[in-house]
Structure 1
Amino acid sequence: MNFSNIVQSTNEDSDYVRNKLIEFNSQHVLNGRYEEINLCLKNDKEEIVAGLNSAICWNWMEIDILWVHVDYREQGYGKKLLEEAEKISREKNCSFIKLNTFSFQAPDFYKKYGYKIIAVIENAPNDYKHYYLLKELL
């Protein structure tokens, strides 16, 4: 069998690979699920000023991105998105939420809302820390 060179995946290629892994996983873990839950806040001009991208996998939610535009920070929008994600997680019977953040981003923000640090990678990126956090919902 002859393979071509490795190439950068398209979005469709990435979706295919993700779905194939989900298919494989569901053969080994009953009640498998993968559902993207993406939220955003818009201002009165319909511009996105904050957003949260996440996925529910089996019995947890994994938050990939929580972002608030610099002009809208310190106004409770991140909190609102986090609370909505937690509400959805509980409605979908998730046991916990996990996420990661960097020391120059928001570890203290997440700790304020009950997230516990479960791992830290030093010097990632250079001179910073990469935090992994978890919040139990049960």
Structure 2
Amino acid sequence: MIHDAARPFFPAGRLKEALDNMGKMDVDGLAPALVSTDTLVEVDNGQIISFPDRHRIYHTQTPQIFIYEKIMSAYEKFRENLNDQPFTDDLSLAHSAGLRCGLIEGSQMNFKITTESDWVLAEQLLKSGGLDFT
């Protein structure tokens, strides 16, 4: 399991569900994800070039879970030029290395804390006691 501190609100009870799904889905790795609810645009040099189908676009989250030997093999494949690759997370590296990857349902509460407004929201959630980590 690969996780980051920027997403502290992953419900711990979902971990067993994720591990069970790995076997059922016959995948080497998986991640929680949310289908996009926003209209997305692809832009080049300030100009809109396309509107991807948002029903085919997902926001991936962590933790990302892999069969240990498989993810280590994926990292080994790109070891020499890892910094030259466009990978934004472990799932993108795994997919590029040919691993079979899948998605499970993510959680809106598992948001990434990267901006000041994210931090304020996280503090309010903690103060409210409205989080269930089970």
What's the TM-score bracket when you normalise by the shorter of the two chains?
under 0.3
TM-score relative to the length of structure 2: 0.23
TM-score relative to the length of structure 1: 0.22
* Higher-RCO chain (CA-CA 8 Å, sequence separation at least 6): 2
Structure (1 or 2) with the greater strand fraction? 1
Q: Which has the larger radius of gyration?
A: 1
Structure (1 or 2) with the greater helix fraction? 2
